Amino acid sequence: MGVNVQGWSRRRLFPVTVRLPLAAANDSQLHRRHYVPVHVKFVLAFAVALAWAVLAYAVAGRWIGVQETPGKQLAAHLLVLGIAVLPAFMNAFLAMGLLLDRRPARSRFADADFPGVTILMAVHNAEDTVLDTLAGIAAQRYPAPFEVLVINDGSTDATLARLRGAAHAWLEVLDLKSAGGKARALNAGLRLASYPVTVTLDADTHLHPQALRQLVTRYMSDPPNTAAVAGTVLVRNSRQSLVARMQEWDYFHGISATKRVQSLCQGTLVAPGTFSLYRTDILRVVGGWPECVGEDTVLTWAILRDHHRVGYAEDAIAFTRVPASLPRFIEQRGRWSRGVVEAFRAHGSLLFRRRLSTFFIWWSLLFPYTDLVYAVALVPGILLACAGAYWLAGALLAFVMPMALLTNLMVYAAQSRMFRALGLSVRRNPFGLLGYALVYGLVLKPASLMGYISGMLPRRWHGRTY
């Protein structure tokens, strides 16, 4: 593989010395008088969710009892468990988690306290977006030095020419003559990273002007065992199609709610490569990004496996371009699901760790079952309800929908407050919301199932996830 480096000649190839995040001098001391330990919050959320799920099962059991044969009753139990009871538990846990969640106050740091940052960006045929992404980096209000290492992974368009024409003192271009995949490109950049903190950024992603500072201050304010912090990724091209409009609500509501609650339980499961922060030395210890479909998921689980914490910065925002066509959306979500399977294969031992984050590892294990039941039973359940048989759709409407609505209302309120603090406003998108509520799951669940199946089959990986 041919390599050419354009930019600064200064390179430090020896291991970096990391200044671990320091605890606050206790400017949040006032709030600690009302502090509720995380384990207590977890138990409360779990107890409420379990009670709600048991009630759902008990009510549905009365309807299941009308089935004529033991075989039909067993099938009815399995269907109700997957489409109503487990989703009722999950939505109730999310709702309670959001209700109990209090984002930890950030410590106050002088500009001199901020670490230097290496930003890695792997690009392949990104001539239309890469300069805009660099412009977003140039607008960052970050008080310490940073470098941007763009790894051109065998692009065949004008990407390299545009990068070479960009006049930024902090920009370096690493040109890989042949495409080897995103993971290999990022690892090539990691070997050259100069600073103790590494941030990954996709080539079609635009940063909010405070994004880098918010991401780093969250890392510095979090507990000392924090080795990675996931940024918040939102949709930039929602006006492009109805598919993109629906995804805008998924990123703004569903994904954000899940990451908020996972962070509360001290174990965000995915630090997305689109925009996330890592300790450079930890990245090197775990071997960097694995060459697979879900490289960011598997990397995050490797960090958790080594007893580190992964945080979440809800107000460090990056706006990315999402698939605007249905086939590309199905392909992307299939890759995400396959990445979960790959993470279980590589780090399945996390299922047996005594940590709060283990709860969400088990939660992920239930997704193939609930997605399967949703995909095959939702429409028949609705048709049965129209014919007067409410045993399947009734449990869904009575126990899943109210908690899902409550969860969405709470995350909308939290996200709106955060937007106002950053000088942003929530865009009106009623058609996307309608599609997200009514048809999004009908497409998402089968796409996810295909990804799970693909991940379970022996299949050679060819190394590209751009």
Helical (H) or strand (E) element with 33? none
Distance of alpha carbon 290 from alpha carbon 186, whole angstroms: 10
Q: What is the pLDDT of residues 101-122, one digit of tens each?
A: 887 788 899 999 999 999 999 9
Tokens in use for 144? 């310490």
What's the average model confidence in pLDDT over 136-156? 96
Q: What is the pLDDT of residues 16-71, one digit of tens each?
A: 334 444 433 334 443 455 678 889 999 999 999 999 999 998 888 777 766 678 88
| Residue 381 pLDDT exceeds 90 | no
- pLDDT score, position 63: 72
CB 189 within 8 Å of CB 110:
no
Distance of alpha carbon 32 from alpha carbon 137, whole angstroms: 36
* Class of residue 112 by CB neighbours under 10 A (exposed 0-12, middle 13-18, buried 19+): exposed
What ranges do the domains of the chain cover?
3-8+104-352
CATH fit for domain 3-8+104-352, picks 3.30.230.10, 1.10.1750.10, 3.90.550.10, 3.40.190.90 = 3.90.550.10
**Considering the entire predicted model, what is its pTM?**
0.90
- pLDDT score, position 273: 95
Distance of alpha carbon 311 from alpha carbon 271, whole angstroms: 8
Tokens in use for 457? 């089959």
- pLDDT score, position 271: 96
Report the share of the chain in percent with pLDDT over 70. Answer: 90
Taking alpha carbons only, the member of 440, 406, 421 closest to residue 322 is 440
| Residue 460 pLDDT exceeds 70 | no
Tokens in use for 83? 């489409």
CA distances, 317 to each of 93, 112, 415 (Å) = 25, 23, 11
Distance of alpha carbon 69 from alpha carbon 88, whole angstroms: 27
- pLDDT score, position 3: 45
Q: What is the pLDDT of residues 77-107, one digit of tens each?
A: 888 899 999 999 999 999 999 999 887 788 8
Report the share of the chain in percent with pLDDT over 90. Answer: 73
Helical packing angle, 401-421 and 256-264, nearest 10°? 90
Distance of alpha carbon 165 from alpha carbon 131, whole angstroms: 10
What's the average model confidence in pLDDT over 196-211? 97
| Tally of CA atoms within 13 A in the half-sphere of 289 that contains its CB | 32
Taking alpha carbons only, the member of 261, 237, 288, 326 closest to residue 122 is 288
| Burial annotation 192-227 (CB, 10 A radius, 16+ → b, else e) | bbbbbbbbbbbbbbbbbbbbbbbbbbbbbbbeeebb
Distance of alpha carbon 52 from alpha carbon 400, whole angstroms: 10
Given phi > 0 = left and psi -120 to 50 = alpha, else beta, which region is 154? left
- With H, G, I as helix, E, B as strand and everything else as coil, classify residue 459: coil
